[in-house]
Amino acid sequence: MEKQPRSVRKEPPAREVPAAPLAKSLLVAALLLIAPVFLLLSAWHSAAGRAETDPSLCPFGYFKMGSVKNCSPWLSCEAINREVRKLKCVGEGAVKKVFLSEWKENKVVLSQLTNSELKEDFLHGLKMLKVLQSKHVVRLLGYCEQQFTILTEYHPLGSLRRLNETLHMPKYKAMNTWHRRLMLAIDYVSIIRYLHSSPLGTLVMCDSNDLDKVLSQYLLTSDFHVVVNDLDALPLVNRSAGRLVKCGHRELWGEFVAPEQRWPYGAEIPFEDALMPPYDEKTDIWKIPDVSNFFLGHVEGSDIVRLHLFNIHAACKKEDPTERPSAQEVLDTYRKVLALLLLREAAVPGTREML
């Protein structure tokens, strides 16, 4: 009798997931992961890339505040005397005294000359405020040359000297992140770039002999941007005319100021202003790493940011000014680092894993 072959039970084939739906699911997941990053980058890039005189600004000689849609002419001497009420003194420097004031129920800042010997500095600062009105510069509301008075927008968060104090307040703790701090550094470098390519030409930020002095020149806005506030010492470099600058007539020293700003002839020769060589805007570039280091602080992820900025900061610290990058090159690098690290953080959550 012939043996019957044993029947073989066939297993049903393994179910395959169609390739197209799987790829689609992965794509959707990836987009959901990085969408918030792109939204942040888009909002930041929109703010960073808008025209220097953006739509929120008025034509020359006009201003608007808050939610008001219409532009008003800069306040005259008569209007300032009649409509502005001083509230209290909030600061005093070598050139001017600053008062928190009120105009039509709006907080404003009234600055008045305190030293008549420095009136040229005061008027130079006023001229710079008028000509350089942009998203980078505090908003001018009015002035009175005869009384040496300037009226500007009020920013309640104050100067950058208070940045760490502000970011540790419960209200602003959510802002105390490496990316927010880097964006503030980008604002600062954007201002330097704007001054170096201003409508007047290449301007040098001379009130910058130490970190504290630099920070006092800038204000933190309520929406966490940086604007420059004090433009009293802003000389012009004109290479084609052979015009360089000197920041004051006294000897400068310390590691914060650029090497070319220090007396080059040694202690055996007493300092003499007439013998001090002039210099150019690359002094501002030398100071960028120190100011940015302050901005970055010591939050989680800031050490990773510093590592990615190491090469550009090393270039900023070149002894030879001609070897330092331009402010535009520094700005481009900062923006690339921000974009890169935001994308890496989205792909691998946790800033410690961004390397």
Domain-by-domain residue ranges, the chain? 72-153, 158-346
- CATH topology for 158-346 is Transferase(Phosphotransferase); domain 1 (1.10.510)
What does the pLDDT read at residue 2?
Answer: 46
Domain 72-153 belongs in CATH node 3.40.50.2300: no
Give the angle subtended at the CA of 345 by the CAs of 343 and 351, to the nearest 5°. Answer: 145
Q: Which of 100, 104, 9 is nearest to 65 (CA)?
A: 104
Give the span between the Cα atoms of 211 and 330, in whole angstroms.
19
Type of residue at 335: R
Chain-centroid distance, C-alpha 178: 15
Assess whether pLDDT exceeds 70 at residue 41: no
CB 187 within 8 A of CB 226: yes
The Cβ of residue 135 has, within 10 Å, a number of other Cβ atoms equal to 20
Stretch 55-81: mean pLDDT, rounded? 89
| Percent of residues, the chain, with pLDDT higher than 90 | 74
| Percent of residues, the chain, with pLDDT higher than 70 | 82
Assess whether pLDDT exceeds 70 at residue 34: no
Give the span between the Cα atoms of 137 and 230, in whole angstroms.
9
For residue range 190-239, list pLDDT tens digits in order: 999 999 999 999 999 999 999 999 999 999 999 999 999 999 999 999 98
CB 202 within 8 A of CB 284: no
pTM here is 0.84
